[in-house]
A and B are shown apart, each in its own frame.
Chain A
Amino acid sequence: MADGNASSDISLNVAVELIAPAVEKLARHAGIRALIIKGPVATHHGLRPARASADIDVLVEPGRAYDLVDALEACGWKRRPMTRAAELAASHSESLIHPRWPIDIDVHAKFPGFLAGEPSAFEALWRDRTAMSLAGTDCTVAGLHGSIIIALLHAIRPDAIGHQRTDEHRLALAAVARMTRVDQERFVDIVVDSGAAGALVGSLREVGLTVPVPGGQDATAWDALVASKGSFTGQVLAAASTAHGGQRVKVLWLALWPSATELRAAYEGEGHVVRSVTWLRLQRLGRGLRALPGALRALARARREAKHSGEGAQ
């Protein structure tokens, strides 16, 4: 009956329920504002059928994500190995794993699709927060409106799986359609304040909501990512398109030539047996080259559309 169990002794549902208050506790102790998002929170708001989650997602106030990661590392959690190029390309979150738990903790510094920057997005979602009881304790979670925005962004993300995309999108839009007029107005305010208007304008049009898209929210990287269907090459190009100077060169170089150590760690972390790093490099290069024309076309198209919409707004 003592602790010391292996991860297989704990179901995904139990792990998610217990880890959420653990994250809440560590964040509060360190004075970090953090919101549990997606998974059980989406289910709580009726935006997702009840099903097991393989991770718990937490969105952290700007500049404090690594403080929470540090606090989790002090409790035995470790960063999931990935190449630095993948880290830079998917710089919105850090995945942590623990040998005694069957789920990951995804600590999000930002969430793809919020185009006005992290501070605006977090503050808008924080104002909409609510409390949810998990494992008998109150946890701070995204509110209904914020959860709908996150569900829609998640559903239209480039790498969404077909049926999940449809279900999540449908349930989130149905929740918007059920709102009173006053609630819809409040919802639109949060969409705009959080910087999600540019990404969600098309989805919300489906339920008759017109959302103003403020200028200065560069949707190029997001559109390029969506158009490239979330391929790693597309992610790298999207990350490079928003980076400047030396950072852009760094992203591209690390994508082309990750170190042998990180390449091996990343593949072994995914459960693959690595026999030859050279063979891995060739495979990666081949996949990258095959995806490159499509990703470049997607980026060019996104830039053209951004330019046209910018001209239209003037």
Chain B
Amino acid sequence: MKKDKLDSIGYIDNQLIEKAESYISSKKKNTWIKWSAMVACLCLVVGGLFTINRPVEAPLVISGELPKIVIPEYEIGGMGFEGLMYFSAEELENGNPWREDMELVTLPVFKNGCYDPTGAGVPLGLSETKMIAELESAAKALGLEILDTKAETDNMISENDMIVSGDTVYSICAITGRGNLTIYANGSLVYDLPDDYELPEGYHFTYSNISDSDAEAAMDYLTETYAPFLNYEHPEIVLQGEYSFSGDYIRRYIVYDSGTDMTENILNYNFCSTQFAPDDRGNLMLIRINNGLCMAEKLGDYPLISIAEAKEKLLDGQYQTSVPVGMPGEKYIAKVELVYRSGPQEETLLPYYRFYVELQDADGWQMMQSNGLKTYGAYYVPAIQDDYISNL
């Protein structure tokens, strides 16, 4: 496309762009929240914390009638399409606690209070007061002293379609002497460790080129060391990953609370896990706790369809997918599992059967790599019965 004078401005220096974004006239009142000003009201809320790593206790549906639900559109926010690469279907293991032989008749469905209708992925949900309480609790669990805080507020589109600075806080970052802690309004909590943090010898970890035993040792150490922060009674570690185009196995370091029953186990795996991320020296760079049910409102326990019924729907074309090529056929189905999709783009949180299908080269897409890697595309079929779906 032809360049014009406005495009030239797109090449101006990065520092100037960043300065113009954050610049606030000295004549304007500073709107950053200062921790010291908040201390007085903290005492009231700290004692009443909800537990960040647990699904919320949602109100029961009193009426026998379950409301019909709308299946959200499937958008994966800029990630191309959902395809995983493995050399064989046997490697399609991701730590999902759901098993085909589980005797599940119903599973809960939730309205997602963190849904962002704009699609930008802006964290929404928790009030400022709850976010501050979470930060306080997390800092205490980590033995950190909060020295200062910085809050970010959302930009809003006003009724007359103008961009205005909103007063809804969507994140608060606590500056501590040993790294930063950030809470987002969707309940996610990130501990950003200091650059000089060193793991003890024998516990360094990396995304690739690490043995199963070394990865397990590192993860056991991290889970134990950060147990007060995680607050999991039954920590379950997940170390599986996927392959990159070059054939490197990229491992993930995840832990969640397996809970006390099947439903809690499934919900915690899907919504309330913690990820540890290494830096390029093999030290711990950050810990991210997801709390995808922090603002969820339970709509009820919905009857499930069987895997056979779901497969029938898949073959009948009743599925959602981001895969750009057609479903190649029954013989290419490699695996099925039950999952919940989570995130700000999901207005309703419900279970799906996710089918992994070995994709074939088509429409200019190369799904089989020259090094032998195959691409398994994800196809979703809602796991609840049709009677309860309003947009079939």
Do A and B come together as binding partners?
A: no
Which A residues have a C-beta under 8 Å from some C-beta of B? none
